[in-house]
Amino acid sequence: MTVSPERGRSLIDNLGGHEIAVIGDLMLDEYLWGSVDRISPEAPVPVVNVSGESSTPGGAANVAGNIKGLGDRPLLIGVVGNDNSADVMDWLLREQGISTEGLLHDPHRPTTVKTRIIAHSQQVVRADRETKEDISPELENQAMAYLEGHKKSLGGVIISDYGKGVITKTLLERLICFCLNEDIFVAVDPKDVNFPRYRKVSLITPNHHEAGFAYGLRIVDEVTLRSVGEGLLKRLEAESILITRGDKGMALFQADQEVKLIPTVAKTVYDVTGAGDTVISSFVSAMAAGATLEEATIISNQAAGIVVGEVGTATITKEVLREAFLGGGQGEDEKV
């Protein structure tokens, strides 16, 4: 699949201006940056001399950041605690120009925080502070009420499921039912525990490990890839499934069509953190701009190739995507 320069320019120019809801697990990504020049005498572990630190919104908030970077208006819905990390999240989102009206506060749970220690562009260790308990029915109702209040302006809905308790069984059913009834494109970044419940959605974007686990067959070659993709598509009655395959690119499955295999365009892979967020956000943004499923796949593949070349959770922008998409190859081996 390829997209002509003229069509590609038109699609990129049409990105933005749409309201896209992102609902799911919010998390704060913290980074400690430094260097290593010795091993600890206390244990066989490296001693990191910290030279700096930073924080960025992660999880569903990173998806919203990508949506914002592409020029769309993210409607972010998620749950945080009543703690300092929630205040930092609120401030960071506002700095990006993302509304925090959809952030629901639960005094009984902490804001999810992932702290990564980075030395010489490599992650040394990660520490997580979180709870995975389901949110309350009251918070589910608040989330749905906020979403339904914007139904007339929505160009798409992204369910960002990290298995941290926001996307409960009940909420997931209500979200999918809402999108089907309102004829809204709904995409899911899945978690294995909920996989059987992602029925009749527009798009699911598992990586090859998640897809293989969900279907019960490890993906080791193109034969098993096709079995898993086609099997999940039929089992879930989904419109499409996009399986990301790391350095092997992506595979798009649609009902009654041949699988589309797309090689990666990444030149160097430093960090895959947030790559899945970029894939689903750029895909839905492209669909809102009038792209076909195949064209949206090509655009999201290009976006993913950009962010994996950066260290830490990264977001894509419309300008960077335009330059990369129109200035180089698309990584495709088959014409649309």
Using H for helix, E for strand and C for coil, what is the string for 196-228? HHCCCCCEECCEHHHHHHHHCCCCCCHHHHHHH
Domain 5-327 has CATH 3.40.1190.20: yes
| Tens digits of pLDDT across the chain (336 residues) | 677 777 877 888 888 999 999 999 999 999 999 999 999 999 999 999 999 999 999 999 999 999 999 999 999 999 999 999 999 999 999 999 999 999 999 999 999 999 999 999 889 999 999 999 999 999 999 999 999 999 999 999 999 999 999 999 999 999 999 999 999 999 999 988 899 999 999 999 999 999 999 999 999 999 999 999 999 999 999 999 999 988 888 999 998 899 999 987 755 544 444 578 889 999 999 999 999 999 999 999 888 888 765 544 456 788 888 887 766 555 444 332
Instruction: Give catalytic residues, as residue numbers.
Output: 277
The predicted structure's pLDDT at residue 269: 46
- Specify the pLDDT at position 192: 84
**pLDDT on residue 309:** 55
Report the chain's C-alpha Rg in angstroms.
Answer: 20
Q: Residue ranges per domain, the chain?
A: 5-327
Position 270 scores a pLDDT of 44
| End-to-end alpha carbon distance in the chain | 5
**pLDDT at 63 (0 to 100):** 94
